[in-house]
A = this chain, B = another copy of it.
């Protein structure tokens, strides 16, 4: 995607003006009113149109897409997710197809090619010039989630011993096809990265200054085979708008631009959030997904958690004699395991996030255990005060004391487990976000019951 594109002929979009919801593109196209549809398309920015297309079924979306003129069609197409791009492509004639695919940035094209069926991919590659084909093929060589997968290979690299004036000429000569010219990597004769200069420094500097003098220290860079999320968070931390990408021999191979970095970070955050709720991460559009598709992404975890919950049946079954002697204990089962689950989920989510943004490291394990244990016990004491009042009101002081003591222990235990599991996962090289709140909750449910019934046996002497 062109990082700096501005939609042509679009009215001022002020971010706090709500889009009027009633006349969506879908409604207009559904009614087969072509003139209002074309007016709508003329009056909205490419990303807004792409968003509307993603919400529509394939046939309607294809119909609406063909109403766009050539230049705007490309801008809209680049904003679509690969799965939606494929739907649009499959409905196009050869000439429009070629125009669209040839106009895309190589990195966006490569990303699309990975998700389309082999037949479509062949048609796409066949329509490219040899130069574009080579560049796309290079990007296809990097695994999904790697920096190389997201980078743009079209970079203007400068030699170090060049005056600023000549460097600007070089940017003018070579810059028109590059996705960005704001960050200009400086390389040696072997194309090894030795520094970075900003276009800003060239423009503001004197024409006779040598490029080498503008280089500020050694460059920050990422390896093409490295993790795209790590590289993106590095850009975020260091406030970089472009990050040079190098191969294993430190040779420049591309640039990771901020718009792709933001996309990577947002995808990672969405994934973390999905995982935290115990659903498999997916990249589709909610409103465009079918019911079976939505169910499929949730079924696995729900089923695993159900099987794990069998443990709670086993525990309750084991303590049935206790439960028979004090039937009122059953009243507080949901309240106790609920509170434990909540305390555990809070700790887990906090620690998963702290790990993701780099505030906590694996080496902090002991410190986190000690911290969460105290936080949990503290919260447990507060809950116990309220829990004992509730218990006394419903069934009397004795069981209320059991509920109170159990709340303190369960909260301390739940927070410790919740805070520790993401760190242990990371230590075992599992994505800590896999430690979902429901997973912690289910684990805490069973152990919480053990704590509750054992406390009851001790306090009530049964």
Chain B residues near A341 (CB, 8 Å)? 341, 438, 441
Chain B residues near A386 (CB, 8 Å)? 303, 306-307
Question: What's the least CB distance linking A219 to chain B, in Å?
Answer: 6
Contact check: which of B45, B51, B310 meets A335 at CB < 8 Å? B310
Q: How far is the CA of A265 from the CA of B258 in the complex (A)?
A: 13
Q: How far is the CA of A9 from the CA of B182 in the complex (A)?
A: 21
Decide yes or no whether A117 CB sits under 8 A from chain B.
no
Contact check: which of B216, B286, B337 meets A8 at CB < 8 Å? B216
Contact check: which of B4, B45, B250, B345 meets A241 at CB < 8 Å? B4
Pick the interface stretch among A85-93, A122-130, A134-142, A346-354. A346-354
Q: A11-B218, A333-B330 are in contact. Are A286 and B338 (CB under 8 A)?
A: no
Q: How far is the CA of A307 from the CA of B172 in the complex (A)?
A: 67
Q: How far is the CA of A279 from the CA of B351 in the complex (A)?
A: 12
Contact check: which of B241, B310, B360, B394 meets A390 at CB < 8 Å? B310
Decide yes or no whether A342 CB sits under 8 A from chain B.
yes
> Considering only CB atoms and an 8 Å cut-off, how many residues of chain A contact the other chain?
153
A306 touches B383 (CB 8 A): yes
Chain B residues near A460 (CB, 8 Å)? none
Q: How far is the CA of A360 from the CA of B48 in the complex (A)?
A: 14
Map CB proximity to B onto A428-453 as digits: 1 under 8 Å, 0 otherwise.
00000000011001100110010000
Q: How far is the CA of A378 from the CA of B220 in the complex (A)?
A: 50
Q: How far is the CA of A161 from the CA of B241 in the complex (A)?
A: 30
B220 touches A45 (CB 8 A): yes
Q: How far is the CA of A11 from the CA of B194 in the complex (A)?
A: 11
Q: A295-B378, A313-B394 are in contact. Are A220 and B7 (CB under 8 A)?
A: yes
Decide yes or no whether A152 CB sits under 8 A from chain B.
no
Chain B residues near A278 (CB, 8 Å)? 342, 345-346
Decide yes or no whether A132 CB sits under 8 A from chain B.
no
A227 touches B15 (CB 8 A): yes
Q: How far is the CA of A273 from the CA of B346 in the complex (A)?
A: 10
B266 touches A220 (CB 8 A): no
Map CB proximity to B onto A1-36 as digits: 1 under 8 Å, 0 otherwise.
111111111111111100001000000000000000
Q: How far is the CA of A374 from the CA of B353 in the complex (A)?
A: 32
Q: How far is the CA of A147 from the CA of B361 in the complex (A)?
A: 33
Chain B residues near A193 (CB, 8 Å)? 12
Map CB proximity to B onto A329-369 as digits: 1 under 8 Å, 0 otherwise.
01111110111011101101111111001111111100100
Contact check: which of B12, B203, B379 meets A299 at CB < 8 Å? B379
Map CB proximity to B onto A205-238 as digits: 1 under 8 Å, 0 otherwise.
0000000000011111111011100110010111
Chain B residues near A199 (CB, 8 Å)? 182, 199-200, 203
Decide yes or no whether A459 CB sits under 8 A from chain B.
no
Q: A217-B10, A230-B15 are in contact. Are A273 and B272 (CB under 8 A)?
A: yes
Decide yes or no whether A102 CB sits under 8 A from chain B.
no
Decide yes or no whether A302 CB sits under 8 A from chain B.
yes
Q: A272-B273, A338-B305 are in contact. Are A221 and B13 (CB under 8 A)?
A: yes
Contact check: which of B10, B204, B220 meets A175 at CB < 8 Å? B204
Q: A3-B241, A250-B12, A334-B333 are in contact. Are A379 and B51 (CB under 8 A)?
A: no
Q: A203-B175, A437-B277 are in contact. Are A338 and B312 (CB under 8 A)?
A: yes
Chain B residues near A358 (CB, 8 Å)? 51
Question: What's the least CB distance linking A439 to chain B, in Å?
Answer: 10
Which 7 A-B residue pairings sit nearest by Cβ, starting from the closest? A16-B226, A277-B349, A312-B334, A15-B222, A286-B354, A15-B231, A47-B237
13 extra interchain contacts, Cβ-Cβ under 8 A, other than A54-B359, A262-B262, A273-B352? A14-B222, A180-B200, A181-B204, A266-B269, A278-B345, A286-B351, A286-B354, A287-B367, A302-B339, A302-B343, A303-B383, A309-B339, A310-B390
